[in-house]
């Protein structure tokens, strides 16, 4: 009876829409990172972190195990299709593997950060190596206009990381990625499953008060 009550309490505590939308695995399991989403909010967590009323016990390729009042809850990693349903983008997504064409009227590229090409395997490797430092050293804040979030500003950036190599700078305001308007961190992180199959990443940012495009091709 006590076990049933404890389980009921755990299920009551866990948000009904709690989901795992992304996982980055490391050689050391304790350093593997997961993206949890619920109620329009998103958290990036590792084992031992507290999130959405529970404690993260483990992160694996299959999903995340959380502890709620002594009871374990296992959340499976959403597929790209399921994640798109959980975090629907405003425009229709491009076909898997197809890079989006430059939108009509898109701002020009910044001459100081021209389009570049990166190897997909190298990007995945660097993400695995650098994500703890990126999470620790990068800070973003929402930018409001008329009471609505119109982008996220990169207030602080991990220098020499994949982000700076892709062309981002501290102070940039990200307003659009691959045709999706960024109206909060949940939208930005929710793009992750689809961006894994994209051949081109195109971000519209505001830099020094002017809109410019950042373009990275993935091979």
- Check pLDDT > 60 for residue 69: yes
56-60, 101-105, 137-141: least confident range: 101-105
Please compute the mean of the pLDDT values over residues 32-41 and round it to a whole number: 82
The highest-level CATH class for domain 90-218 is mainly beta
Q: What is the pLDDT of residue 70?
A: 77
Arithmetic mean of pLDDT, 158-166? 87
SS3 7: helix
Place of tokens 């659009």: 176
Q: Which pLDDT does position 56 carry in this prediction?
A: 92
Evaluate whether 2-76 and 90-218 have a shared fold: no
Per-domain residue ranges of the chain: 2-76, 90-218
| φ/ψ of residue 52, rounded to 5 | 50, 45
CA atoms within 13 A on the CB side of 162: 20
Q: How confident is the model at residue 125 (pLDDT cuts 50, 70, 90)?
A: confident
Per-residue confidence (pLDDT) for residue 207, from 0 to 100: 92
pLDDT band at 205 (very low <50, low <70, confident <90, very high): very high
> Residue holding tokens 């793009």?
191
Q: Give the 3-state secondary structure percentages of the chain, helix then strand then coil, rounded to 5.
A: 25, 35, 40
Instruction: Judge whether residue 148 has pLDDT over 60.
Output: yes
Pairing between β-strand 173-177 and β-strand 180-181 as defined by DSSP bridges? antiparallel
> Who has greater pLDDT, 195 or 14?
195
CA–CA separation, 96 and 188 (whole Å): 18
219: which DSSP letter? -
Please state, rounded to an integer, the average pLDDT across all residues of the chain: 76
pLDDT category at 149 given cuts 50, 70, 90 is confident
Region of poorest pLDDT, from 53-67, 116-130, 163-177: 116-130
**Cα 96 to the center of its chain, rounded Å:** 18
How does residue 99 score in pLDDT terms, banded at 50, 70 and 90? Answer: very low
Rounded distance, CA 21 to CA 144, Å? 26
Domain 2-76 in this protein, CATH class: mainly beta
pLDDT beyond 80 at 64: yes
Structure confidence at residue 123 (pLDDT): 82
């Amino acid at each position: 009876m006590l076990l049933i009550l404890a389980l009921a309490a755990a299920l009551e505590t866990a948000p009904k829409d709690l989901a795992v939308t992304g996982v980055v695995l490391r050689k050391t399991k304790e350093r593997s990172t997961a993206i949890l989403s619920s109620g329009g909010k998103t958290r990036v967590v590792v084992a031992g972190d507290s999130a959405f009323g529970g404690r993260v016990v483990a992160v694996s390729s299959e999903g995340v195990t959380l502890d709620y009042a002594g009871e374990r809850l296992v959340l499976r990693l959403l597929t790209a299709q399921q994640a798109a349903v959980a975090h629907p983008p405003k425009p229709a997504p491009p076909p898997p593997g197809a890079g989006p064409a430059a939108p009509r009227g898109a701002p020009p590229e910044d001459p100081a950060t021209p389009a570049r090409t990166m190897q997909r395997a190298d990007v995945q490797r660097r993400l695995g190596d650098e994500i703890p430092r990126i999470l620790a050293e990068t800070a973003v804040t929402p930018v409001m206009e008329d009471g609505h979030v119109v982008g996220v500003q990169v207030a602080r950036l991990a220098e020499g990381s994949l982000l700076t190599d892709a062309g981002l700078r501290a102070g940039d305001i990200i307003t659009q990625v691959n045709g999706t308007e960024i109206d909060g961190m949940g939208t930005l992180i929710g793009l992750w499953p689809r961006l894994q199959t994209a051949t081109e990443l195109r971000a519209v940012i505001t830099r020094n008060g002017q809109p410019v495009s950042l373009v990275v091709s993935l091979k």
